[in-house]
Chain A
Amino acid sequence: MTAAAAPAPAAPVRKASFGNVLLSEWTKILTVKSTFWTLLAGAIIVIGFSALWALAFTTSYDQLSPADRATLEPTTPMQIAFYFGEVVFGVLGVLVITTEYGTGMIRTSLTAMPRRGHYLAAKALVLGGVVLVAGMVVSFASFFVSQAVLMAQDLNGSLGDKGVLRSVIGGGIYLALIAVMALGVGTLLRHTAGSVVAVFVILFILGIVGNFLPGRWGETVNKYLPSNAGAAILSPGTPGNSLSPWTGLGLFALYTAIVLVVALVLFERLDA
């Protein structure tokens, strides 16, 4: 900086770092009740359904066919529970941005943080971090709770079994990615209801539709659907009709990145 370059009345330009924006988003997410409630709801559904399905398997184990018994893994109840509960973590991702649009807070926020790339990145990081921690807790809890129930029929496994620890940790990562993808969807659509429906379609309806697709191509398409790709991480092994665990989760991460980049481009261009 040379002194000559500055015009006389120019005040020193204040700087705020990306860390400031992160801190602000951290305060924001912790100071609304919806964060707490959605995480609690997600935890109850995932952990509760894990226990219920584990109970269903143990009580009806005697009636299961040998083929069904063969596919039953210690993580099966948890996998089913994730399918029902994961959308709730998406709802949190949606709310983080759509409540700002809904209330008009987005304009106040962007007046304070006009560099929109930083703003969205900080939101994604904070949301991803919060849901990663909560998701890990939920994932481990649902594993342990379901194992306790499965123990009755000696169906339980342990974290030391092949692929199990990876499944449980991967489950936490998957929930964090779901939330971040939903943030992207919310940024694109701006409306809470529409975004929640979109996330529900992506994570829940598409997975059901995929099951009904006929033939070989149907099976192939089914594997690449977001919820099936992401859920691959929850299997200790690689079932024939699914992508390998890290490939699946990687693909889901790629989908998330694509949604987020498209959201960012439009967010930068469009009027707030």
Chain B
Amino acid sequence: MIRARGLTKQYGPKTAVDHADFTVVPGRVTGFLGPNGAGKSTTMRMILGLDRPTAGDVTVNGRHYREFAAPLHEVGALLDAKAVHGGRSAYNHLLCLAQSNGIPRRRVDEVIALVGLQTVAKKPSRGFSLGMGQRLGIAGALLGDPGILMFDEPVNGLDPEGILWIRTLMRRLASEGRTVFVSSHLMSEMAVTADHLVVIGRGRILADTGMRDFIDANATSHVRVRSPQLGELEPLLAARGWRVESDPDLSLRVYGAGSAQVGDIAADHAIRLHELGIVQPSLEEAFMQLTEDTVEYHAGLPEPETPPGTPPDAVPPGGGGRG
């Protein structure tokens, strides 16, 4: 359990985290979603006692992180996979972490096997690929078999295989009843991994809700209609007071209407329809809508990864992980 109350961090005049209140509870993957520069990493550093809050407070299992004598038994964190001394072998790196917390040597071998680094464990970590570095970081996080796990942008720069591996791992850790807190600026990633969302923009917590609730609250479904006679159909729909937007692929998005109503109008005027359906809003849309004015770096927002036409609600909230 992680609890932040009024958590604030200022770097000079810049407020990186602004009175953040949120709670991360066990048994589910809580996604920490926000564009680049929103304050995710800063928040995580404060949780781990690395950065000192300017104001407010954050506790882990009811205590401040810096009071822990052997924190690896309670919290495992991966902030930056490159945060290791490259000259030290993976095994020795994990060994000194283990020793500092009174964790037996055989557990080092266990976590190395768990992340699949056996063949390179005795090699200096500076030669590791990003994916191997990520596995080493995760091995370190798992050393103490902790009940709380935190990952900062764990899939950044990974190949598809690595991404799948991390997703599966996070889902498994949560299903074992652990608290999993994972940040990302990629909405598509959150959509497939997280059950619960803490959304941050410009340092402020914008939402702390379930995935489905978040989408429902922040975006509305619409009717998608495709027709060779859009020019005739559009004014008819607009005349009913519905908001109509046209898409480049010769389709219309009709907000506020039911698909039956749209179909009936088309039939009444002998307009041919090639497609008609309800489109559930996606996390992307909900997020865009919510953060419209809080996005710090627009360039940092990725394009939605789902191709147009893919039902965005293909991933149910809290649904079992893929793979």
Interface residues of A (CB under 8 A from B): 7, 10-11, 13-17, 20-21, 23-25, 27-28, 31-34, 99-100, 103-116, 269-272
Chain B 58-80 per-residue mask, 1 if CB under 8 angstroms from chain A, else 0: 00011001111111111101011
Report yes or no: B99 in contact with A27, Cβ–Cβ below 8 A.
yes
Chain A interface helix/strand/loop/mixed: helix
Q: Which of chain B's residues has its CB closest to A30's CB?
A: B92
How long is the Cα–Cα vector from A33 to B84 in the complex, in angstroms?
Answer: 15
Query: Nearest Cβ in chain B — how far from A186, in angstroms?
Result: 14
Indicate if B96 sits at the interface (CB-CB under 8 A): yes
Q: How far is the CB of A125 from chain B (nearest CB, A)?
A: 14
The 8 Å CB contact of A103, one of B66, B86, B92, B95, is B86
Roughly how many angstroms separate A27 CA and B69 CA in the complex, as a whole number?
A: 19
Q: Cβ of B61: which chain A residues have Cβ within 8 Å of it?
A: 10-11
Q: Does B264 contact A (CB under 8 A)?
A: no
Q: Tell me whether B55 is interfacial, beta carbon within 8 Å.
A: no
B88 touches A112 (CB 8 A): no
Q: Is B89 positioned at the interface, with any CB of A under 8 Å from its CB?
A: yes
In whole Å, how far is A111's beta carbon from the nearest beta carbon of chain B? 5
Across the interface, name the chain A residue whose C-beta is closest to B89: A31
Chain B, interface size category, equals 35 or more
Q: Which residue of B lies closest to A116 (CB)?
A: B66
A114 touches B147 (CB 8 A): no
A183 to B88, CA, bound (A): 20
Q: Which of B35-91 contact A (CB under 8 A)?
A: 45, 48-52, 61-62, 65-75, 77, 79-80, 82-89
Tell whether, in the assembled complex, residue B99 and residue A23 are in contact, meaning their CB atoms are under 8 Å apart. Answer: yes
Instruction: Give the Cβ gap from B11 to chain A, nearest Cβ, in Å.
Output: 9
- Tell me if B246 is interfacial: C-beta within 8 Å of chain A: no
B156 interface contact, C-beta 8 A: no
Known: A7-B62, A113-B100, A114-B67. 13 other contacts (CB 8 A): A10-B61, A14-B102, A20-B70, A23-B99, A27-B96, A28-B88, A99-B85, A107-B79, A111-B50, A111-B77, A112-B101, A271-B52, A272-B51
Q: Given that A14-B69, A115-B69, A271-B45 are contacting pairs, would A103 and B85 also be in contact in the complex, using a CB cutoff of 8 Å?
A: yes
B92 touches A27 (CB 8 A): yes
Contact of B70 with A32 in the complex, beta carbons under 8 Å: no
Q: List 5 A-B contacts (CB under 8 A).
A: A13-B69, A17-B69, A21-B100, A23-B100, A105-B85
Q: List the A side residues contacting B82 at CB < 8 Å.
A: 103-104
> Would you call A14 and B73 a contact (CB within 8 A)?
yes
A28 to B99, CA, bound (A): 10
Residue in B51, B72, B84 whose CB lies within 8 Å of A112: B72
Q: Does B201 contact A (CB under 8 A)?
A: no
Contacts known (A110-B50, A112-B100, A272-B51); A32 close to B88, Cβ less than 8 A: yes
Which residues on A sit within 8 Å (CB–CB) of B147? 11
Give the interface centre of A16, A34, A107, A269 by most chain B CB atoms within 10 Å: A16
- How many angstroms between the C-alpha atoms of A25 and B99 in the bound complex? 9
Instruction: State the CA gap A7–B51 with chains docked (Å).
Output: 28
Asked if A15 contacts B69 (CB within 8 A), the reply is: yes
Q: Do the beta carbons of B83 and A16 come within 8 Å of each other?
A: no
Distance (whole angstroms) from the CB of A11 to the closest CB of chain B: 7
Residues of B near A272 (CB, < 8 A) are: 45, 50-51
Is the pair B87, A108 in contact by a Cβ cutoff of 8 Å? Answer: no
* Max chain B Cβ within 10 angstroms of own Cβ: one of A15, A32, A106, A111: A111
Identify A24's interface contact among B80, B89, B100, B140, CB under 8 A.
B100
Report the separation of the CA atoms of residues A243 and B74 in the bound assembly, to the nearest whole angstrom. 53
Q: A14-B74, A104-B83 are in contact. Are A271 and B97 (CB under 8 A)?
A: no
In Å, the complex CA distance between A111 and B48 comes to 6
- Closest chain A residue, CB of each to CB of B140: A108
Residues of A within 8 A of B65 (CB): 114
List B contacts of A28 (CB < 8 A): 85, 88, 96
Q: Are A15 and B45 in contact (CB under 8 A)?
A: no
> Contact partner of A20 among B77, B79, B83, B100, CB < 8 A?
B100
User: How far does the Cβ of B121 sit from chain A's closest Cβ, in whole Å?
Assistant: 13
Write the nearest CB–CB distance from B122 to chain A, whole angstroms. 11
Establish whether residues B96 and A31, one from each chain, have CB atoms under 8 Å apart when the complex forms.
Answer: yes
When distances are taken between beta carbons in the complex, the residues of chain A under 8 Å from B95 are 27, 31
Interface residues of B in 86-137 (CB under 8 A from A): 86-89, 92, 95-97, 99-102
